[in-house]
């Protein structure tokens, strides 16, 4: 795949996973669903690696880096997101999560010395301002009580964890860890760590055999975890976490559309203005992706 195809795959798949997460609520604790999701995804990826004869033997140091990536990306990040979506609409969660775009840019600059293009920075800042308007009280008709504030804090914590994991993924790829095998092992570490947390916290390992739960789990494991992460982390390795983070500005547009249709998200003035600013940020940052794709396809 060229870079533009990888970008579009990440946006369209991840844009729909936010609403799919809400189908996981019910009999199974959110943290347990995270362990199931990435445990299943890790098994599928490991099976693919064995089928293709891809190497799964790495040094202890490499395992340490993959474990750190898994703990942040497939552990802390998603536990926070699953818990947050119990408190705030999935579309708003996705929009707040788009703050990762600017965190990726700053992180790439801080850790790798990657230049921050002025146009991209301005576009990301405008998008973040839009997120601020969306979070204003009453913007989406959502009461801003303690539950909403807790959801907001959880999303922000997950966003920081995800951004750090993106930088670790970029580092791992630069040191020769392939995306597919790296994801398989990182997901394994993430699933195991979340499962250990669930055991320590007394979360029962229940299972919901309904079509709604099983179908959403399969979609999240295969498309949301394997295909989307493979596409996105490959993009991170090619063009860096900063530029790849532009996807985090476009994904909320898909999530908001689905949240409006399926969750009845209410569009008030501040929400319209905030989404408009996010779109304006997209106009500034997204045109750079096709030019990168042309150079590297």
Q: What are the structure tokens assigned to 61, written together? A: 């140091």
Decide which of 204 and 288 is more confident: 204
Residues 145-171: pLDDT tens digits? 668 888 888 999 999 999 999 889 889
- The per-residue pLDDT for 291 is 40
Residues 6+ apart with CB under 8 A from 115: 109
**Tally of structural domains, the chain:** 1
Cβ-in-10-Å burial (0-12, 13-18, 19+) of 19 comes to: buried
Residue 176: pLDDT over 80: yes
* Domain that residue 50 falls in: 3-296
Indicate the pTM of the whole model: 0.84
Q: What is the pLDDT of residue 195?
A: 98
- Kindly state the percentage of the chain with pLDDT values over 90: 43
Reported confidence tier of residue 276, pLDDT bands at 50, 70, 90: confident
Residue 109 pLDDT level (bands cut at 50, 70, 90):
confident
Rg over CA atoms, the chain: 18
What is the pLDDT averaged over residues 89-101? 83
pLDDT at 284 over 60: yes
* Least confident residue range of 3-7, 173-177, 206-210: 3-7
Place of tokens 């293709």: 52
pLDDT recorded at residue 8: 86
User: Dihedrals φ, ψ of 128, to 5°?
Assistant: -70, -40
User: Using CA of residue 162, residue 166, residue 168, residue 169, what is the dihedral sign?
Assistant: positive
- Given a contact cutoff of 8 angstroms between Cβ atoms, the answer to whether 107 and 265 are in contact is no
């Amino acid at each position: 795949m060229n870079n533009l195809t990888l970008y579009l795959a990440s946006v369209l798949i991840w844009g729909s996973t936010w609403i799919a997460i809400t189908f996981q609520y019910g009999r199974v604790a959110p943290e347990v669903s995270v362990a199931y999701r990435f445990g299943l995804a890790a098994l599928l990826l490991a099976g693919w690696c064995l089928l293709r004869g891809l190497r799964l033997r790495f040094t202890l140091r490499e395992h340490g880096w993959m474990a750190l990536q898994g703990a942040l990306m497939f552990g802390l990040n998603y536990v926070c997101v699953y818990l947050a979506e119990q408190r705030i609409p999935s579309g708003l969660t996705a929009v707040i999560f788009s703050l990762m775009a600017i965190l990726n840019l700053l992180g790439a600059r801080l850790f790798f010395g990657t230049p921050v293009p002025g146009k991209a920075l301005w576009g990301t800042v405008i998008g973040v301002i839009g997120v601020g308007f969306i979070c204003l009280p009453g913007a989406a008709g959502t009461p801003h009580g303690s539950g909403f504030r807790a959801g907001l804090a959880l999303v922000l914590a997950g966003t920081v964890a995800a951004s750090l994991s993106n930088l670790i993924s970029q580092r791992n790829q630069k040191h020769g860890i392939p995306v597919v095998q790296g994801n398989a092992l990182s997901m394994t570490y993430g699933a195991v760590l979340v499962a250990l947390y669930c055991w320590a916290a007394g979360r029962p390992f229940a299972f919901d055999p309904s079509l709604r739960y099983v179908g959403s789990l399969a979609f999240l494991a295969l498309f949301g975890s394997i295909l989307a992460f493979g596409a996105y982390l490959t993009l991170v390795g090619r063009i860096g976490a900063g530029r790849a983070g532009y996807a985090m500005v476009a994904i909320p547009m898909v999530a908001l559309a689905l949240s409006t249709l399926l969750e009845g998200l209410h569009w008030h003035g501040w929400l319209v203005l905030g989404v408009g600013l996010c779109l304006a940020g997209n106009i500034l940052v997204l045109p750079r992706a096709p030019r990168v794709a042309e150079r590297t396809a």
